[in-house]
Structure 1
């Protein structure tokens, strides 16, 4: 069986960390490259860390010669400070990575979007996620896999008060997330990462969208 190679963007984030750990532990992957602004405190024989300027990804096109690209980039308006900076990270960096993946003939481009992604949404966050999805579909990627998780559960480096409150709320009253609200149930970042890795190994061509409740119910 052919050993695979992977590239991860956003390896320091919640889902990106989980994806990277799973890839390093997988016998199916012989090497895992992560694109980072500063070196991560990780050591593994299969891990390669590439310092990059995400605003100039084209300078690092050679690292996109892999089987699978996992795009786990993402920020918040609070962290980005402005809508322009948010757009740059969530839209421009993701699209640059996708175009390079297309050029290099990557088998699978897997990306983390969000529940409610819609370019016509009244919410800027959802608008941007929707625009990214629309424009990714216009590319000629061999396999495009879009994951739309709800609130992500996991240990973050930064404290996000709203998410902490939502986690507590879900823990106390999970029964509220039933029926039509089931799709909004919080989901573990580890679960999203696992399904991303499984999707890559299935090597399916075309566009595939995974809603949050579907991800949670996958085996």
Structure 2
């Protein structure tokens, strides 16, 4: 039995991941670090409300087998690029660094399709920089998942995002941009968990591959399919 650590547990993918892990027989303890409470009562759940800027207050609590990092924000929510960088890069990297030094052996990170340290776009460049940085940490295995546009139940409505999602789905239906099709947040969360079983070493997983990876495990039958099943 394993202990999972999660940061970003109140986000779109994070909430799905927490629920899946609480019902996963391979994990007997789920430790969530965040600024806001999940407001969940479960005997497997241990929750720590922290300030990510003061690791000296919580770094000794970061102990477990695998770290799932779902943290992230938008420029609009952050207010400026400096604050977004602090949340999306600094907080995540520092937490991963502490986890690796505390003996956590596996790390699963949500990045973004198009992440590239040389990208002309701030967001993708920031994501690419984080991807490159965490690969250098002493984890035994680092899995970086790069989903395309995410969709699922949000608390707030984003008009431009809804329009883009509808357009992407329409194009996918006629066979265009299949490898760039939107992906549901639950499927991403499932794939993050299954990646630990499927991959034997560090890897970067495309959004297209996430579709197949999420099908690797039939939770109703409690059966793992052959690795060749993962096809997107």
State the TM-score, normalizing by the size of structure 2: 0.87
Change (3 A) 1:29 1:81: same
The structure in which a higher percent of residues are helix is: 1
1:192 paired with 2:188, answer: yes
Say which SS state the counterpart of residue 115 (structure 2) adopts: coil
Higher relative contact order (CA 8 A, sep 6+): 1
* 8 A Cα contact 1:6 1:32, kept in partner: yes
Say how many residue pairs are matched: 214
Mark the runs of 5 or more structure 1 residues left unpaired by the alignment.
none
1:102 paired with 2:100, answer: yes
Q: After TM superposition, which residue ranges in structure 1, 4 or more long, deviate above 6 angstroms?
A: none
Change (3 A) 1:33 1:13: same
State the TM-score, normalizing by the size of structure 1: 0.92
* 8 A Cα contact 1:147 1:209, kept in partner: yes
1:168 shift after superposition? 2.0
1:167 shift after superposition? 2.0
* 8 A Cα contact 1:153 1:187, kept in partner: yes
* 8 A Cα contact 1:58 1:100, kept in partner: no
1:208 paired with 2:203, answer: yes
Change (3 A) 1:107 1:177: farther
Change (3 A) 1:153 1:177: farther
Provide the C-alpha distance between the structure 2 equivalents of 1:124 and 1:6, rounded to a whole number of angstroms: 31
2:178 match: 182
Provide the C-alpha distance between the structure 1 equivalents of 2:114 and 2:151, rounded to a whole number of angstroms: 18
Mark the runs of 5 or more structure 2 residues left unpaired by the alignment.
216-232
1:58 shift after superposition? 4.0
1:93 shift after superposition? 0.8
- Within a 5 Å distance, the mapping from 1:14-53 to structure 2 comes to 14-53=12-51
1:43 shift after superposition? 1.4
* 8 A Cα contact 1:177 1:185, kept in partner: no
1:138 match: 136
Provide the C-alpha distance between the structure 2 equivalents of 1:159 and 1:58, rounded to a whole number of angstroms: 37
1:64 shift after superposition? 1.7
> Out of 140, 164, 175, which is 1:166 matched to?
164
Change (3 A) 1:164 1:177: farther
Provide the C-alpha distance between the structure 2 equivalents of 1:202 and 1:51, rounded to a whole number of angstroms: 32
Say which SS state the counterpart of residue 103 (structure 2) adopts: coil
1:203 shift after superposition? 7.2
1:165 shift after superposition? 1.2
